[in-house]
């Protein structure tokens, strides 16, 4: 028995970034999704109907009156598993927020009972205008996911926030939202901070003390939080990964830089998840020139000093309404060391995993035990790092909304 392909309506509004959406469409169709493209009439000035039809394998129309016997203005929204609008212009966001239905795309948005995602793209002044911000807030309050645009080169010589995120990352948003299905966007309206990667502590201009963290788990946490409706600040240390769509990325190098960035972002955060591997120590002094090797002589010892303990600092604050999550990478006595670290750091949750050769670092999968300050224990079997990320956000949501169903089962003990 063949399972039904997920049905995606890909809405395209009239922005120059429409050409990038061809790549998003290709990724959706090649990964087994049944995609119907619904452009606005003006969007067809940027990319024509034959292109959308050829890439999707489905008929394309921007008009309510085409194929009227099939009632497409109602049927498309009713049958979709996801409606994804990219690019979403300021005009399209305004019409969607005010419930207008003057073309096939806005009719589809009104009839959709599935998750809806908007990926805005426009000039910075338009994105930052109070009218646009209010329209975005309205759509988010209704449960839609509005992805924060990227910063970078815009049309002409302009640069700033308003750029359509990379299509590969938009595909990841679509995939994560589809995976959650009808589950509520339980982090909507919340600001979360995630740290990722591994810090580097400079010895001289060419050498540093570092670790093996790739940042994959932190990036999975950021992507998953975006799909659940959160505003995400990702503090990334030395990560060679594309920026997750919808996340504000703050790049840092050292533990001191990470502390400054995390504490600044955490000032108004509802949750902070410290997934980064932060170096415990740094050289006491920095050599301005490369340390030379001298024949027959042993190198001078490098004296180390402690780095700031960011997780413990967050735990000491114990700000009401904020959930703090730490990570513990252990090589032995995993649970015993994890419980001791949880008590020492003062965090609400601690994700404990075993690391070593061919475990965790740089791999797409992970396994962990999530310990709670309330005595809870949640075992996460080995699987994609996104699965662990979803479990972490389930547990965070349970603590942000005490007494409400968080959609997961935990083992108490």
Query: Looking up tokens 């547990």, which residue turns up?
Result: 395
**Where in the sequence numbering do the catalytic residues fall?**
211
pLDDT value at residue 357: 52
pLDDT value at residue 69: 58
Q: Which CATH architecture has domain 7-180?
A: 3-Layer(aba) Sandwich (3.40)
Ranges of H-type helices in 45-89: 49-56, 72-79
Q: What is the DSSP letter of 371?
A: E
Spatial neighbors of 413 by CB under 8 A, at least 6 apart, are 375, 376, 377
pLDDT value at residue 407: 40
d(CA 269, CA 215): 21
Q: What is the share, in percent, of the chain residues with pLDDT greater than 70?
A: 92
147 and 163 in contact (C-beta within 8 Å)? no
Provide long-range contacts, Cβ within 8 A and 24+ apart, for 397-401: 397/186, 397/187, 399/323, 399/348, 399/349, 400/190, 400/270, 400/271, 400/321, 400/323, 401/186
Question: The pTM is what?
Answer: 0.87
Which CATH superfamily groups domain 191-401? CoaB-like (3.40.50.10300)
d(CA 352, CA 274): 12
pLDDT value at residue 184: 78
Residue 404's CB is within 10 A of a number of other CB atoms, namely: 11
- Band of the pLDDT at 160, cuts 50, 70, 90? confident
> Angle between the 216-227 and 385-400 helix axes, to the nearest 10 degrees?
50
pLDDT value at residue 408: 39
Binding-site residue positions for CTP: 280, 290, 308-311, 327, 341, 345
- Band of the pLDDT at 298, cuts 50, 70, 90? confident
For the chain, the structural domain boundaries read 7-180, 191-401
Written as six digits, the tokens of 13 are: 């509004």
Asked whether the domain spanning 191-401 has the same topology as the one spanning 7-180, the reply is yes
- Band of the pLDDT at 181, cuts 50, 70, 90? confident
Query: Looking up tokens 């959650």, which residue turns up?
Result: 180
């Amino acid at each position: 028995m063949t399972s039904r392909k997920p049905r995606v309506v890909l809405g395209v509004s009239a922005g120059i970034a429409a050409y990038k959406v061809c790549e998003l469409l290709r990724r959706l169709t090649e990964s087994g999704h049944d995609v119907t493209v619904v452009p606005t009439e003006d969007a067809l000035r940027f990319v024509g109907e034959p292109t959308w039809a050829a890439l999707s394998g489905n008929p394309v129309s921007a008009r309510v009156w085409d194929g009227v016997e099939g009632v497409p203005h109602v049927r498309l929204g009713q049958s979709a598993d996801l409606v994804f609008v990219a690019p979403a212009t300021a005009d399209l966001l305004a019409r969607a927020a005010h419930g207008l239905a003057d073309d096939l795309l806005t009719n589809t948005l009104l009839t959709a009972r599935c998750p809806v995602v908007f990926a805005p793209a426009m000039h910075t002044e338009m994105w930052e205008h109070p009218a646009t911000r209010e329209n975005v807030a309205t759509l988010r309050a209704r449960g839609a996911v509005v992805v924060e645009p990227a910063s970078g080169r815009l049309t002409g010589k302009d640069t700033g926030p308003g750029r359509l995120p990379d299509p590969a990352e938009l595909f990841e948003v679509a995939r994560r939202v589809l995976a959650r299905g009808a589950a509520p966007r339980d982090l909507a309206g919340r600001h979360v901070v995630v740290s990722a990667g591994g810090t580097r502590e400079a010895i001289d201009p060419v050498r540093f003390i570092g670790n093996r963290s790739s940042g994959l788990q932190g990036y999975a946490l950021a992507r998953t939080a975006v799909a659940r409706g959160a505003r995400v600040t990702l503090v990334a240390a030395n990560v060679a990964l594309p920026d997750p769509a919808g996340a504000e990325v703050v790049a840092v190098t050292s533990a001191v830089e990470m502390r400054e960035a995390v504490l600044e972002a955490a000032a108004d955060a509802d949750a902070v998840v410290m997934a980064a591997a932060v170096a415990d120590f740094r050289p006491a002094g920095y050599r301005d020139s490369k340390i030379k090797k001298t024949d027959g002589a042993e190198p001078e010892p490098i004296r180390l000093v402690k780095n700031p303990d960011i997780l413990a600092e967050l735990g000491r604050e114990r700000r009401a309404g904020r959930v703090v999550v730490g990570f513990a990478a252990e090589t032995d006595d995993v649970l015993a060391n994890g419980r001791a670290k949880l008590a020492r750091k003062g965090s609400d949750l601690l994700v404990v995993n075993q690391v070593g050769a061919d475990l965790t670092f740089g791999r797409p999968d992970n396994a962990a035990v999530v310990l709670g300050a309330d005595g809870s224990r949640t075992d996460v079997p080995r699987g994609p790092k996104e699965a662990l990320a979803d479990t972490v956000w389930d547990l965070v949501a349970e603590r942000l909304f005490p007494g409400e169903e968080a959609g997961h089962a935990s083992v108490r003990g």
